[in-house]
Structure 1
């Protein structure tokens, strides 16, 4: 039995993992969806990058578990990757789901044209507002599913997007699986592609969009279960 700590990306909370968590529990594992500070039911809590890393480390410490798989989707790959090296021997594996991965000294917004996002954060009191439905087009999601996501999405704390990551050792040294969702581009982001050169990293592809916990939850459960066997 493995403990999966599930952390969703920007605008999302623990609720995003409902179907995946149910599938993992049905397979005999323990699933622990986590809402990061400032999001969903934790809206209004001040949060930067270090806050989100601490959220994840604290969640693992409360579990008192030895075989922990940290799962980070999209933005959450950055705090999850940092937390993975901080939980030491408790880590069984880290799984990045179509995610950004941390690079020491760089933020989520580093390395891509982010002026629009930075301006939006400044204009909206320090948060990044959820997008409209067009952001989810072409990502294997029904109109009904998109409407449900947007109904529960919450503004994302801007400081967590602009503050840099801190790593004590190369990310490629960790046992990891990178899940690339092909409708969001066929190639991993450059930092992930570099880490995938490591023998400790595995690449898995899913023929779906950037939010597989909504579009293909059963397939994502299968990948997560197989990551344990790989580890």
Structure 2
């Protein structure tokens, strides 16, 4: 079975994967939720985007894992996509969960739908950090308890991780990859992800839920992750 490194998006830590990790372990996999520097229980650690790439690579090497599936949700797709290129033959698969995919020379902010300047204005309002806005949860298939769970565990997201550009060493289309699109957050992947999905090594899976499936549909997400490496439900 596979060894899953689970990396949540902005504001979140390893705690976000508790339900998914439990189901993956029950299916016989290793499950290793990871908190990135500057977030959750590591919120006092200085962090840039390259720090997050190193966090992921270091965890794989520290645990001496093989048959690794790197799972990146939302923002975490950017460091996960870069880390996938850096762990060599340890990698079995990449899974992007409603994620931003890295583009060489571009940052999360520069890829943001309202543009980099608008995003930098948001960081200015948060004293250099990206603060969670409750409006993010609207229409995302979450009940009040799930929203409260996310909000209570969220921490400000360090701005440097969002403005530093990605550095890719090889085309992402060459990596065995599953892209999970959460349909309540938009029916189509971003243009960058859509271009990569033309590769014969990429697969698209759709979920009828919102942007936080580890909370809204954790069992279904675990099933999709299991199937991504076994080919079986």
User: What TM-score does the superposition give when structure 2 sets the normalisation length?
Assistant: 0.96
- Look up the match of 1:225: 226
Query: In 2, distance between residues paired with 1:205 and 1:124?
Result: 33
1:90-129 aligned at under 5 Å gives the runs: 90-111=90-111, 112-114=113-115, 115-129=117-131
- Helix, strand or coil at the partner of 1:78: helix
- Look up the match of 1:30: 30
- Look up the match of 1:131: 133
- Cα displacement (A) at 1:190: 0.9
Query: In 2, distance between residues paired with 1:124 and 1:212?
Result: 26
When the two chains are superposed, the root-mean-square deviation of aligned CA atoms in Å is 1.2
- Cα displacement (A) at 1:177: 0.2
Query: In 2, distance between residues paired with 1:201 and 1:137?
Result: 30
Query: In 1, distance between residues paired with 2:152 and 2:25?
Result: 26
- Look up the match of 1:203: 204
Deviations 1:171-196 (A, max 9, x none): 00000000000000110011111110
Query: In 2, distance between residues paired with 1:123 and 1:216?
Result: 32
> Is 80-89 or 42-51 further displaced after alignment?
42-51
- Helix, strand or coil at the partner of 1:37: coil
Total equivalences in the alignment: 230
- Cα displacement (A) at 1:230: 4.4
Deviations 1:104-163 (A, max 9, x none): 00001113214343112123222111112x210111100121011101100000001011
Divergent runs of 4+, >6 A: none
1:150-161 aligned at under 5 Å gives the runs: 150-161=151-162
The answer on 1:147 being equivalent to 2:130 is no
The answer on 1:21 being equivalent to 2:21 is yes
- Look up the match of 1:58: 58
Query: In 1, distance between residues paired with 2:175 and 2:5?
Result: 16
- Helix, strand or coil at the partner of 1:227: helix
- Look up the match of 2:174: 173
Query: In 2, distance between residues paired with 1:66 and 1:26?
Result: 19
- Helix, strand or coil at the partner of 2:110: coil
Query: In 2, distance between residues paired with 1:44 and 1:123?
Result: 20
Query: In 2, distance between residues paired with 1:205 and 1:169?
Result: 26
Query: In 2, distance between residues paired with 1:148 and 1:116?
Result: 28
Give the gaps of 5 or more residues in structure 1.
Answer: none
User: What TM-score does the superposition give when structure 1 sets the normalisation length?
Assistant: 0.97
Query: In 1, distance between residues paired with 2:65 and 2:82?
Result: 18
